[in-house]
Amino acid sequence: MKQQPIGVFDSGYGGLTVLKEITAKLPQYDYIYLGDNARSPYGPRSFETVYEYTLQSVKWLFSQGCNLVVLACNTASAKALRTIQQHDLPAIDPHKRVLGVIRPTTEIIGRFSKTGHVGILATHGTVISESYPIEIHKFFPGIQVYQEACPMWVPLVENNEYNSPGADYFIEKNIHNLLGKSGEIDTLLLACTHYPLLLEKIKKASPAGMTILSQGAIVADSLADYLNRHSGIDANCSKNGQIRFFTTDSTEDFDNHAAIFYGQPVKSAHLAL
């Protein structure tokens, strides 16, 4: 039977925290994960560059039989998704779909906050795109959104320093800055796929009673709902429970790091983009 996996894309490892939740929720589907590690991080890159790299990766996933691709990367979702959906997909194949991680989160975030003040922790690229405030206000016009760019958090995770005292320093500093913007923030969103690895330290640095949301489970629930509502797309996804991993950088490095994000051993293949 023809393989029609669901493509899951990230600039590197972070999307594996999303894939982990997706495969737990929807184990019957086939998946291809692509990490563009050779060109990560995307966070500090321009709109044009993130768009170009993301489109190239999406096209490769399409060439592998994917009809549905999830951008499991906030920076790519913020800087490339809309253009790909509106400009590229109609020309490439109007039956293919690309989804991101921002909408699933923004459409429910308002339900978690009692004060109506929420804080977004993200990469510099995601923050300056203003995607979170714009999208949240579409669903919850009355919610106040405060953002904090945390440029050191991805490098801390990528360099295996996420358990070190150095990580505490940067996490405390960014949480302090964010909470300084409003004393009423009661909900924090980890709007970067790397940040779940820092969850314990983020909790430690936050006041008691703060609601802290990771995206993996939210995106998995949203994808399950999407497939339920779109039976034609669901029928175009093969279901043999197979997962394949590709990286644009060293497979040895990827396999060594990936297990931390995915929670189990990973064996990847190399892809030159």
Find the shortest distance in angstroms from Cβ 2 to ligand DGL.
Answer: 30
The DSSP letter of residue 192 is S
Which residue, among 54, 51, 68, has the nearest Cα to 7 in the 3D structure?
A: 68
Candidate segments 11-19, 79-87, 132-140, 165-173, binder of ligand DGL by CB under 6 A? 11-19
Active-site residue, selected from the candidate residues 66, 150, 192, 237: 192
| Minimum CB–partner distance for residue 241 and ligand DGL (Å) | 25
- Enumerate residues 170-199 that contact ligand DGL by CB under 6 A: 192-194
List, as one string, the DSSP characters of 41-59. --TTS-HHHHHHHHHHHHH
> Structure tokens of 134?
């714009």
Residue 251 as a binder of ligand DGL (CB under 6 A): the answer is: no
Give the interface segment with ligand DGL, choosing from 67-75, 128-136, 160-168, 199-207 (CB under 6 A). 67-75
Q: Are 85 and 111 in contact (CB under 8 A)?
A: no
Cβ atoms 136, 107 nearer than 8 A: no
Complex with ligand DGL: residue 11 or 251, whichever CB lies closer: 11
Among 126, 144, 206, 214, binds ligand DGL (CB under 6 A): 126
Maximum CA extent, the chain = 56
The two beta strands, 97-99 and 68-71, are parallel
Tell me the catalytic residues.
Answer: 73, 192
- What does the binding site for ligand DGL look like in residue numbers (CB under 6 A)? 10-12, 14, 40-43, 73-75, 123, 126, 154, 192-194
